[in-house]
Amino acid sequence: MEKFTAFTSRLAPLPIDNIDTDQIIPARFLKTTSKAGLGQDLFYDWRYDADGNPKPDFILNRPEGRAAQVLLAGDNFGCGSSREHAPWALLQYGFRAVISTSFADIFRGNALKNSLLPVVVSHDTHKALFAALEKDPAATVTVDLARQELTLPDGSAVQFPIDEFAKHCMLEGVDELGYILQQSDEIAAYEAKRALTVNTLA
């Protein structure tokens, strides 16, 4: 994984609460066995008409959406299924962060493991961001993970929370599996004292 560095970007606003993973990437695109090619199917049913042509008014088909590396979405983003195809598709489209007032648990975990940053902001900040974009669709924010700081279009900055360990992994560009594998001795020790519960090979 690449190291996650601070960046400044425009925003793609999607002012809808409870955007679920079936909208982010519909299930029929989950028959693939690779991670590649999902960006084109991101938000497919909102983004394309029945003939597969881009709907001109959908934000990802407009210039301001295409220029954005940050998605600004409504509350409880990513609810629904555990499909990691959702963050893969968002990343492949070009997003590096999603701003919302809250994220569904599984989506948040999946996003962090792929270096897609879920940025949780207060309802006031959330409203202010949508208002700023209404005034100026080219408004930008700066996302600084090291400082856990989001700089708003008016130049003010807010802090956002993030799991300390996920932050470390993203900033260093390392993944969790390597860290878990280092603890093989602890795992073996646990297995040695564990009561056997089931044997699927029996």
Partner 1 sequence: MQSQKVTEKPRTIIEKVWDNHIVAERPGAPTLLYIDLHLVHEVTSPQAFAGLRQRGLKVRRPDLTIGTTDHSIPTYDRSLPILDKVAGAQIAEFERNCRDFGIPFFGPHSEKQGIVHIIGPEQGLTQPGMTVVCGDSHTATHGAFGALAFGIGTSQVEHVLATQCLLQSRSKTFEVRVEGTLKPGVGAKDIILNLISRIGIGGGTGCVFEYSGSAIRSLSMEERMTICNMSIEGGARAGLVAPDDTTYQYLAGRPYAPKGADWDRALALWRRLPTDPGAQFDKRIEIDAGALEPMITFGTNPGMGIPISAPVPDPAAVSDPLERESLGKALRYMDLPSGKPLLGHPINVVFIGSCTNSRISDLRAAANILRGRKVNPKVRVMVVPGSQQVKKQAQEEGLDRIFKEAGADWREAGCSMCIAMNGDQLAPGEYSVSTSNRNFEGRQGKGGRTFLASPLTAAASAVTGVVTDVRTLL
Q: In 10 A of CB 125, how many CB atoms?
A: 17
Q: Smallest gap, in angstroms, from Cβ of residue 201 to partner 1?
A: 5
- Helix/strand/coil percentages in the chain, nearest 5: 40, 20, 40
Q: What is the nearest approach in angstroms of partner 1 to the Cβ of residue 49?
A: 11
How many Å apart are CA 142 and CA 13, to the nearest integer?
A: 16
CB of 140 closer than 8 Å to CB of 119: no
112, 161, 171 from 165: Cα distances, Å = 10, 12, 10
Task: Compute the least distance from the CB of residue 155 to partner 1, in Å.
Answer: 25
Q: Which residues bind partner 1 (CB under 8 A)?
A: 15-18, 20, 22-23, 26-28, 30-35, 45, 50, 74-76, 79-84, 102-106, 109-110, 113-114, 163-165, 168, 175-177, 179-181, 183-184, 186-187, 190-191, 194-202
State the minimum distance, in angstroms, from the CB of residue 61 to partner 1: 18
Q: Which is nearer to partner 1, 69 or 81 (CB)?
A: 81
What's at 193, amino acid-wise?
Answer: K
Q: Which residue lies nearer to partner 1 by CB, 68 or 104?
A: 104
| Closer to partner 1 by Cβ: residue 30 or 139 | 30
Nearer to partner 1, 20 or 144 (CB): 20
Give me the residue label for tokens 């499909």.
83
